[in-house]
Amino acid sequence: MNKHLKIAFLVAPILAIAGFGLADLYSENKAAQEKVIQLVAEGNCDVTQNDCVLTSGEFKINVSDKAGVTQINSTFPLDTATLFLVDENDKMTPYPLGMKENPYYWRRNTPLGELVANQGDRYKLRIVATIKGGQYISEFYTKTVH
């Protein structure tokens, strides 16, 4: 075995490990860049019946309201989550949600339950959820069915 082959056997594992590390840094940097992704409602939303799912690819957010507490849970951990109640004049009232148990569950007391308490009530909502540099946004209506 000549000296060039010996050096190649010594350097190859180091280059392989460095390559994996640099690829990981590149993908992490790419994920942290700011981007805006739209979430779309799956069918009709009824937050009072825990039947409101917003999706974008594999990412899903479920929105529900029970006893004056609005809660969202997601398939990936969130950094922040804000719910906006939008009145008939398109005036938004923001409600930053707080983490419940872990970054998958967020909640806050809101007047949403009172606004959609009766059958047939409909109300416009907006959500902004952030994960690293990405913002997931949605504008949708909740309509009480039962």
CATH topology of domain 35-143: Immunoglobulin-like (2.60.40)
Is it the case that residue 1 has pLDDT exceeding 90?
no
21 vs 133, higher pLDDT: 21
pLDDT for the residue numbered 9: 87
| pLDDT tens readout for residues 4-14 | 888 888 889 99
Domain chopping of the chain, boundaries: 1-32, 35-143
- The tokens 């805006």 sit on which residue? 36
DSSP assignment letter at 73: E
- At 13-46, the pLDDT tens digits run 998 999 999 998 888 877 666 788 899 998 889 9
Tally Cβ neighbours within 10 Å of residue 17: 10
